[in-house]
Chain A
Amino acid sequence: MRAEGILRLLAGLVVLAVLGLAAFLLLARRAEIAPDASAATREFAPELVARGADLAAVGNCVACHTEPGEPAFAGGFDLPTPFGDIFSTNITPDPETGIGNWSLDAFRRAMRQGVDREGNHLYPAFPYDQYTRISDADIEALYAYLMTRPAIRREDTPNELIFPLGFRPVLAGWKFLFFDEGERPVQSDKSEDWNRGAYLAEGLGHCSGCHTPRNAFGALAESRHFDGGEAEGWQAVALNAANPAPIPWTEDSLYQYLHQGWNETHGIAAGPMAEVTANLRFLPDADVRAMAVYLMDQMGTREPRVTDRADLAADRGAELYAGICAQCHEDSKPLSFGGVALSQSTPVSAPHPQNLVNLVMFGLPPADGEAAPIMPPFADALDDADMVTLLTYLRARFSAAPAWQGLDRIVRDTRSGEYPVTTLPPNGIERGPANVNAAGG
């Protein structure tokens, strides 16, 4: 009897599920918005286009929508995810392969709801869960900017996703569970700057995209807002009270860092963050300031934790440090071109060693034609054992935090490419090939 009851219950659930799925599939595709043949030839006020350019910089649209070495915004950039590879789309105003026949309505729907002009759901690799927070006016400015870029004819590359994620209607379910549409409300108890900063950082800036961890479904774990995350093989540090910088950030230092990609007491932006700061440099000062105000409120204040146990035993690690790091990092040359004192380095004090491993292994490739720091790569100069010895020494000497665990494996996997890392020059413009020089070894 009991077994029969259970079976009946199960059958009922299956029926429900099937009905639910049918309903869901009905919702799973939205109506197409008619192509607008005149869209790409429309004239826009230059001020609107200029504001759109600033906003595109905050959104760092160019980074994901450009394949290295190919025309800007023409798509094709490979975004590896735990679920497979997603290739960004062409967002130049080419009518056939880009968004040249998207009306403003169609563009707005994509930004707000993550649905393309034809009505397909978009993958949240396009961070519409954050873009949904921005204002209609800003969406229009972005639209004006993109529609006035050179039209590039370039077919999109199909995504390569694990089953069943290649089936877009599944995204409707994802949205149902994790997506919350709508503009960001103003918080009246906070300053105007704070609100502006929050608007930029949580909207177009999509800081959370990297700096908040994700759950098993790839959605942001909002309960752990700004606890730190990961992007392209780099650790995105916590932007709340858990921020590991030895010298706490201040509004000024953060402003300078965001604006020019480096700060005396913290060093330089590396990895994908280099791309972010490379873009923010074009933003009006007041906006960058506002972001600093908001982010400072998230991090709060605390005492500095600068450590330098210079009296550590003169062992192999100390010898390596003297031969490899000290030349630049104990130099009197000011940042951005001299190395930061390692006692002030966030990667040395961070909970996870990945960023330091990346920096020592791959260095900071030169930014062609732009003044920007260069750090030589040490992947081929140092074998794994010396690399681990050196990093262990740096941690012991320059950080109050406990020793890292599993450094050997991290070094090994980073070198072999088992753990893929994207290297970028410090101005973030040219993308270096992943794991430059690291293969073999």
Chain B
Amino acid sequence: MATTLKVNGAETRVDAAPETPLLYALRDDLGLNGPKYGCGLGQCGACTVLVDGRAVLSCVTPISVIGSRAVETVEGLGTAEAPGPVQRAFIELQAMQCGYCIPGMMMRTEALLRDNPDPQDHEIRAAFQTNLCRCGTHMRIMKAIRRAAELYRDANPVQEG
């Protein structure tokens, strides 16, 4: 059974059972490395991707519910040569230890900033309550989110009206 997915702007067909979690389709069928398997239970956020701009845990989201909605992974935020604002912020602040949790953190940052370009600390904490980091990189992640907000605002100036 094939399902059509729109991932990082490109349409692809995935030949997997409809209840297959999006995470495995992205990793195994599309060869994407960004979304990570951390728990498969919706408890850690390592698998966070965007679906129509909103943060979704791909390990508990079957491919059958995506429909025509746009899926984005860290690969869609930019490239190593031309990183997007969120990627630039994490690289600039060297906000990683092992880095396994970071793509999920970056996708949640992207979702938060699209919704709220100027998040306060308590809003960041609330939004990131879903995402775990075991290396204790949290201080840098918080800084990178704040820095990403600045870069993001520069890259997407608020439109009048």
Contact A366 B129 (CB under 8 A): yes
Contact B41 A386 (CB under 8 A): no
CB-nearest residue of chain B relative to A365? B129
Q: Which residue of the partner chain, among A380, A383, A439, contacts B67 with CB atoms under 8 Å?
A: A383
Contact A319 B129 (CB under 8 A): no
Contact B129 A368 (CB under 8 A): yes
* A14, CB-defined interface residue at 8 Å: no
Given contacts A328-B41, A374-B42, A376-B42, contact A440 B54 (CB under 8 A): yes
* SS of B interface (majority): mixed
* A18, CB-defined interface residue at 8 Å: no
Given contacts A323-B19, A323-B65, A368-B129, contact A69 B115 (CB under 8 A): no
Bound Cα distance from A313 to B115, whole angstroms: 39
Residues of chain A in range 343-395 having any CB-CB distance to chain B below 8 Å: 363, 365-366, 368, 374-376, 378, 380-383, 386
Nearest CB on A from B117, distance (A): 14
CB-nearest residue of chain A relative to B60? A376
Category for how many chain A residues contact B: 20 to 34
Bound Cα distance from A432 to B115, whole angstroms: 18
Number of interface residues of B (CB under 8 A): 26
In addition to A322-B62, A381-B61, A432-B126, 6 A-B residue pairs with Cβ atoms within 8 Å of each other are A320-B62, A323-B21, A324-B61, A365-B129, A375-B42, A380-B55
Indicate with 1 or 0, residue by residue over A43-84, a CB within 8 angstroms of chain B CB atoms: 000000000000000000000000001000000000000000
* B134, CB-defined interface residue at 8 Å: no
Contact B19 A319 (CB under 8 A): yes
CB-nearest residue of chain B relative to A328? B41
Nearest CB on B from A277, distance (A): 21
CB-nearest residue of chain A relative to B45? A376
CB-nearest residue of chain B relative to A322? B19
Nearest CB on A from B108, distance (A): 10
* A/B interface sample: 22 pairs, CB < 8 A: A319-B62, A320-B62, A320-B65, A322-B19, A322-B62, A323-B65, A324-B60, A324-B62, A363-B42, A366-B43, A368-B129, A375-B42, A376-B41, A376-B42, A380-B54, A382-B65, A383-B65, A383-B69, A432-B129, A436-B126, A437-B55, A440-B115
Bound Cα distance from A291 to B67, whole angstroms: 49
Bound Cα distance from A366 to B43, whole angstroms: 8
Contact A366 B64 (CB under 8 A): no
* B137, CB-defined interface residue at 8 Å: no
CB-nearest residue of chain A relative to B43? A374
Question: Please, which residues of chain A bring their CB within 8 A of the CB of B56?
Answer: 380-381
CB-nearest residue of chain B relative to A431? B126
Taking Cβ atoms with an 8 Å cutoff, the residues of A that contact B are 69, 319-320, 322-324, 327-328, 363, 365-366, 368, 374-376, 378, 380-383, 386, 432-433, 436-437, 439-441
Bound Cα distance from A383 to B54, whole angstroms: 12
Contact A327 B126 (CB under 8 A): no
Residues of chain B in range 64-116 having any CB-CB distance to chain A below 8 Å: 64-65, 67, 69, 115
* B148, CB-defined interface residue at 8 Å: no
Question: Please, which residues of chain B bring their CB within 8 A of the CB of A386?
Answer: 65
Indicate with 1 or 0, residue by residue over B16-30, a CB within 8 angstroms of chain A CB atoms: 001111000000000
Contact A381 B43 (CB under 8 A): no
Contact A323 B18 (CB under 8 A): yes
Bound Cα distance from A382 to B130, whole angstroms: 18
Question: Please, which residues of chain A bring their CB within 8 A of the CB of B115?
Answer: 439-440
Nearest CB on A from B39, distance (A): 9
Bound Cα distance from A366 to B130, whole angstroms: 7
